[in-house]
Amino acid sequence: MTEARVELVINAFWPMVKAAVLVSIPLAVASFIIGMVIAVAVALVRVTPVEGIIHRIFLHIVKIYISIIRGTPLLVQISVVFYGLPAIGIFIDPIPAAIIGFSLNIGAYASETVRAAISSVPKGQWEAGYTIGMTYMQTFRRIIAPQAFRVAVPPLSNTFISLFKDTSLASVVTVTEMFRVAQQMANMSYDFLPIYIEAGLIYWCFCWVLFFVQARVEKRLERYVAK
């Protein structure tokens, strides 16, 4: 590696780390939280016994929503929100547009994880709640949700890690997250390989920390269940 490349890599390091800490991670966290709210709502619509025409309509809507999100690329979804909606008079700033795109995507995928976690709880737990006079939502909140949460944590942790990596797609809608900073640094020097490799290593380091946190959380949950 030449001296110029070494200097380029050193100069690019802190701007990329700063963008990761100040933009990429908050973007992932905000999108994940909103996405989980959507996921839980969608999962509840799907697992709740069908009663009445309103519920059936909502059930069809969430099925179409999941089908569309799972059947189209995330890049297309973000682009539609930022570049497509202005065609019908809806203008959204880059960061909110990215959050909307990521949240809708996470909501669809995570809803299947949440639904599976809820379904994994034995039906006898529901019956036990009803036996002591709880309503459907009381049974879900006090008995089912805590058990389903323990089942859902590992796959949802993987979902968050994947989301953090996917925040690089926000560069398409001009969000100055870590990968866009890498692009800017590479464009100024016309030396793309070392910058992109460095960006990949920084992503890997952040993901390694997230893997470590995930492992610790899972171990704590295992101990809690064992008790």
Place of tokens 């994994």: 120
DSSP letter for each residue of 93-158: -HHHHHHHHHHHHHHHHHHHHHHHHHHHS-HHHHHHHHHTT--HHHHIIIIIHHHHHHHHHHHHHH
Distance CA 198, CA 141 (A): 45
- Higher-confidence residue: 101 or 124? 101
Q: pLDDT tens-digit profile of 104-138?
A: 999 999 999 999 998 888 888 888 888 888 887 88
- Res 224: pLDDT: 60
Q: Are 26 and 163 in contact (CB under 8 A)?
A: no
In the structure, what pLDDT confidence band is assigned to residue 1 with cuts at 50, 70 and 90? low
Q: What are phi and psi of 136, to 5 degrees?
A: -60, -50
State which amino acid sits at residue 123: K
Neighbour tally for 93: CB within 10 Å: 12
* Tens digit of each residue's pLDDT (9 = 90 or more) over 77-91: 999 999 999 999 999
How far apart are alpha carbons 207 and 166 in whole angstroms?
12
pLDDT over 70 (residue 226)? no
CB-CB contact of 23 with 178 (8 Å):
yes
d(CA 48, CA 44) in angstroms, rounded, equals 6
Which amino acid makes up residue 135? T
Average pLDDT score, the chain: 90
Residue range 52-64, pLDDT digits in tens: 888 899 999 999 9
Q: How confident is the model over 191-223, as pLDDT tens digits?
A: 889 999 999 999 999 999 999 998 888 787 766
Please state, in angstroms and rounded to a whole number, the distance separating the CA atoms of residues 19 and 195. Answer: 14
